[in-house]
A and B are shown apart, each in its own frame.
Chain A
Amino acid sequence: MSTPDLAPLGVAGVGRSGPRISDPRSIPEIVLEAVESALADATCGYDDVDAVVTASVDLFDGLTASNIAVTEVVGAVMRPETRIAGDGLLAAIHAACQLWAGAYETVLVVAHSKPSMAPADLTPWAMDPIHLQPLGASFTACAGLQARVLTLDDPDAEGRWAERAARLSTLAGRPTSPAEVSASSVVASPLRERMRAPLADGAYAAVLSRGEASVLLRGAGHDLCAHSPGDRDLRHWDGLTRAAGRAYAVAGIDDPADAFGCVEPACLYPHEEDLFTAATGTGPDTPVSPTGGLFGGAVPVGAGLSRLVEATRALRAEPSLRRVLAHGTWGPAGQGQALTILEAA
């Protein structure tokens, strides 16, 4: 397949609301704050937006269709809106494709969820209802199966993950020691409670355009693997390798080990950072999640877009970073993968 010649897009504005462990506000209120923040950041208004791409999941919102709740606050009344039932970074890539296709000049991307609405783990309902759901499989269980596989040839892995989780939690403002991580309760062995980024309520928004901006979206890719963890080699995130290959080709990156000033993976657990690094080929000296990544609060559905927002802010604050990779993943054991490549203009 040939590599398309795609012009860089502008990340004109970004905004967020949260993350907060339990936000008492309604979903429209949370989303509105993120949207108004992004529009203000882009110095534009609803009238300047040609189309909207939202990301939300009915199951998580307890509502079909979950975008109904946010239609007004994202400015989608009498305007084209597409809803992605997946990670927010996938919504951003969809918006980018709309812009690359020449359909619009400016597209607003919004992703939200409010997991505090339903304290129970809802992910068993996202599993194959014939072969997996009756067994109690969940995204958490699949993460445990994947982490276990990684420990088989790496006896030091659990200790390293505890250190990584402690470091990320501390960077995110929750000082934690590796001993505290290792002493926390088991959620899906070998994974422990404090190895998991805390779920949080929140919304993220970005204004993408074909105009100029201080931060450019230079490449993007996404990919899916088979659903069941039994059908995959869990030692690798093959889907991310393929997604990265597409994104690197578009962005003209030949050596990912030396290409990024930092990377922003959407890793809910520390073992996923090992998978991310191997799949993307990013170098051992490349800073990873310098502000703690998702350990500052992982908003389901919003997580990948939160990395794009963070990457944009980082490039604006420090253009010498030059180029930042923002990542998103969804589904059991990293079934779905997406990444975007952002550059300082």
Chain B
Amino acid sequence: MIRTESIHIPFTYAAGGTSSIFLAALRDEARILATPCPACDTVICPARSSCPACGGPTATPVDVGPAGTLVSWTELADGTTLALVRLDGADTSLVHRLAGGDGTWVAGQRLRARFGESRTGAITDIVGFESENGAGR
């Protein structure tokens, strides 16, 4: 015998102080922030309160991007393309979507963030990254 169930549980995830600053900058100013780590000199994007490399507390957020370089990408079965984008001024890669283009992507390609018109304070306030030339390549 089989019992069928679907679990629908609403959650409220707190972004935390530094991530909230990062999300507010996306929403209010279309800016992308990173946090320098004073201990290991890594500039971490997205901005967070602690360094993923050494665990130490990070310093005041700084601007990075909005242009950057394509590090990796993967086309998924649902048609979306996720990517790692190393924004100018950052030492880590932002995970985000690729947008536009003809689906031909090249490592090292220059990209630029495209922000949505209506922004809510979420990582998806960036619609995706598109080629600085406007095409996939």
Contacts and interface: CB of A to CB of B under 8 A. Distances in A.
Interface of A: 62, 129-132, 134-137, 140-141, 144-149, 152, 185-191, 226-231, 234
Given A134-B123, A135-B123, A228-B95, A141 B74 contact: yes
B13 A129 contact: yes
Contact of A136 (B45, B71, B76, B92): B76
A131 B96 CA distance: 9
Nearest to A234: B72
B52 A130 contact: no
Nearest to A227: B52
B15 A130 contact: yes
A146 B74 CA distance: 9
B123 A137 contact: no
B82 interface: yes
A226 B53 contact: yes
A226 B39 CA distance: 17
B72 A149 contact: yes
B135 interface: no
Given A152-B107, A230-B84, A231-B52, A131 B76 contact: no
B46 A131 contact: yes
Contacts of B124: 134-135
A134 B82 contact: no
A110 B124 CA distance: 40
A188 B73 CA distance: 9
Contacts of B107: 152
A148 B70 CA distance: 12
Contacts of B74: 141, 144-145, 147-148, 188-191
Contact of A135 (B71, B73, B93, B97): B97
A209 B76 CA distance: 45
Closest 3 CB pairs of A and B: A144-B74, A226-B52, A230-B93
Nearest to B11: A129
11 contacts: A134-B122, A135-B82, A136-B76, A136-B82, A141-B74, A144-B74, A144-B75, A145-B74, A145-B82, A187-B77, A230-B94
Contacts of A62: 5, 7
A186 B95 contact: no
A134 B46 CA distance: 14
Given A130-B19, A130-B123, 16 more contacts: A130-B13, A135-B96, A137-B82, A145-B82, A148-B73, A188-B74, A189-B75, A226-B53, A228-B95, A229-B84, A229-B95, A230-B45, A230-B84, A231-B53, A231-B92, A231-B93
Contacts of A152: 72, 107
Nearest to A230: B93
B133 interface: no
B7 A144 contact: no
A152 B106 CA distance: 9
Nearest to A190: B74
A228 B45 CA distance: 11
A22 to B, nearest CB: 11
B44 interface: yes
Interface in B5-28: 5, 7, 11, 13, 15, 19, 23
B60 interface: no
Q: Which of B13, B45, B93, B97 has the most CB of A within 10 A?
A: B93
A309 B97 CA distance: 40
A148 B5 contact: no
A250 to B, nearest CB: 25
Interface in B82-109: 82-84, 92-97, 107
A130 B47 CA distance: 12
A153 to B, nearest CB: 9
Given A135-B124, A136-B80, A141-B82, A230 B75 contact: no
A252 B13 CA distance: 46
